[in-house]
Each structure stands twice: as C-alpha cells, then as structure tokens.
C-alpha cells in the first residue's frame, strides 16, 4: 500500500488519454482505462492498494496499473492510534488456515503448534506495520 501522490492525464498522438499515477515512493504506473484513471484521481492524496504488471519493451520496462482501491482503514485503539501488535495478531489469526496448511478444518491443532506457527508471522506483520508507520506511509 502506498499514498497516491499525483495523477496526470496526458493525450496521446492517437487521441487517447493516458493516466500516469505517481505514488509517494516515486513509482509511476500507467493506464489507458478511464475507470481506473478516474478511481486513481479520486484517491489522490490518500492511501491506496495498487495492483500492476510490468512489460518489457526492448530496453524499457512499462508499468501498467491494473487496479487501484482505497486502502482499508487502520484499526484504531481507544487512544485514536493504531496498535501494530493487536492488528498483527488479528492478521495472524485470520491467516491461520493457510499458515497451518491443514487440509481438514475439523482437525484440532495443538495450542503449542498453533502458537509456534502464528507468533513468527505475527512478529513479521507487526514489524512491517511499525516500519510503514515510521516511513509515514
């Protein structure tokens, strides 16, 4: 996730509109799809989830914007800020079925195995959140 810094509309020689989206890290994404460009314009200055793909064209790499949507709101505590540890645990619990790889959801997992699997994932998520907050994104 990143903050949409700017959205420019440029006319091509063929008369099409090319949208160039720049995020806070300086990355640029291009789309010719009006709906995506309009959505990006509405999100200017806001945090967004950006999906893109790249294509190699000779010595150039083009980065095409496939989808852009508002980032989910952060979970607020009573103090009005985000508690990375709480959010990280919630994320780890939500991801538990994939992290455990259990084929049978009815099969019980021991508490020790569950904790040993989820805790490292939770630590990585919390670290990522804290790093993102430190960078201001």
pTM over 0.85: no
Say which residue, 91 or 100, is predicted with more confidence.
91
Distance of CA 28 to the CA centre of its chain: 15
Q: How much is the average pLDDT of 94-114? A: 73
The pLDDT tens digits of the residues spanning 60-86 come to 999 999 999 998 765 544 444 567 888
The share of the chain scoring above pLDDT 70, in percent, equals 85
The residue extents of the domains of the chain are 2-70, 84-131
pLDDT above 60 for 17: yes
Question: How many helical (H) and strand (E) elements, i.e. helices and strands, does the chain have?
Answer: 3, 5
pLDDT above 70 for 15: yes
């Amino acid at each position: 996730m990143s903050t949409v810094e700017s959205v420019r509309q440029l006319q091509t020689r063929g008369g099409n509109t090319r949208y160039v989206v720049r995020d806070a890290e300086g990355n640029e994404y291009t789309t010719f799809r009006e709906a995506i460009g309009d959505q990006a314009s509405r999100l200017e200055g806001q945090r967004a989830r950006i999906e893109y793909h790249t294509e190699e064209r000779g010595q150039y790499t083009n980065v095409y914007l496939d989808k852009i949507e508002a980032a989910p709101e952060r979970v607020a505590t009573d103090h009005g800020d985000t508690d990375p540890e709480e959010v990280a645990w919630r994320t780890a619990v939500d991801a538990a079925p994939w992290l455990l790889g259990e084929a049978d959801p009815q099969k019980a997992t021991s508490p020790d195995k569950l904790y040993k699997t989820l805790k490292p994932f939770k630590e990585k998520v919390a670290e990522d959140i804290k790093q993102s907050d430190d960078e201001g994104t």
